[in-house]
Amino acid sequence: MNKTIVNKQVLTGLLAGIALASIVGFAVYTANAQKERSTWLPEEEIKTKAADYVNSELIQQGKATVKVVGKDGDFYKLDIEYNGQNIPSYISKDGKRFFPQVMDIVGDKTAENDTPNTKTDSEPVADVVEEKSDKPKVELFVMSHCPYGLQMEKGIIPVAKTLGDKIDFKIKFNDYAMHGEKELKEQLSQYCIQKEQSDKYMAYLGCFTKDGDSGIESCLSNAKIDKNKLNGCIAKTDKEFKVLENFNNKAGFKGSYAGFEIFKSDNEKYNVGGSPTLVINGTQSNSGRDSKSLLKSICSAFNNPPKECSTELSSDSPAPGFGAGAAPSSGAAAAGCGQ
- Return averaged pLDDT per consecutive 10 residues of the chain, 339 residues in all: 37 46 37 52 88 71 80 79 70 76 39 37 66 98 96 98 98 97 98 98 98 97 98 98 97 93 97 96 95 97 98 94 80 67
Q: Are residues 204 and 86 in the same domain?
A: no
What residues contact residue 293 under an 8 Å CB cut-off, 6+ apart? 125, 126, 155, 287, 315
Q: What's the rounded Cα separation, in Å, for the pair 84 and 174?
A: 30
Q: Are residues 240 and 307 in the same domain?
A: yes
Q: Are residues 170 and 87 in the same domain?
A: no
Instruction: Flag whether 171 is in a domain.
Output: yes
Q: Are residues 162 and 19 in the same domain?
A: no
List alpha helices for the chain, DSSP H. 11-18, 31-36, 43-53, 147-163, 180-196, 201-211, 216-222, 227-241, 243-248, 264-269, 291-299
Q: Which of 76, 100, 124 is the last residue of a domain?
A: 100
Instruction: Flag whether 153 is in a domain.
Output: yes
Instruction: Flag whether 52 is in a domain.
Output: yes
Instruction: Flag whether 187 is in a domain.
Output: yes
Instruction: Flag whether 186 is in a domain.
Output: yes
- Give the CATH number, domain containing residue 144: 3.40.30.10
Total domains in the fold of the chain: 2
Q: Are residues 149 and 291 in the same domain?
A: yes
pLDDT of amino acid 329:
58
pLDDT of amino acid 6:
34
List alpha helices for 131-175, DSSP H. 147-163
Instruction: Flag whether 297 is in a domain.
Output: yes
**Residue 165: Cβ-neighbour burial (10 angstroms; 0-12, 13-18, 19+):** exposed
Q: Are residues 167 and 223 in the same domain?
A: yes
Backbone angles phi, psi at 257, to 5 degrees: -115, 145
Q: Are residues 149 and 29 in the same domain?
A: no
pLDDT of amino acid 96:
75
Q: Are residues 143 and 260 in the same domain?
A: yes
Q: Are residues 165 and 286 in the same domain?
A: yes
Q: What's the rounded Cα separation, in Å, for the pair 106 and 7?
A: 6
Bridging pattern class, strands 98-100 and 283-285: unpaired
Instruction: Flag whether 317 is in a domain.
Output: no
pLDDT of amino acid 57:
64
Q: Are residues 57 and 146 in the same domain?
A: no
Structural domain including 166 reads 137-311+329-338
Q: Are residues 85 and 40 in the same domain?
A: yes
pLDDT of amino acid 206:
98
Instruction: Flag whether 21 is in a domain.
Output: yes
DSSP secondary structure of 263-319: THHHHHHTT--EE-EEEETTEEE---SSHHHHHHHHHTTBSS--GGGG-----SPBP
Q: Are residues 32 and 156 in the same domain?
A: no
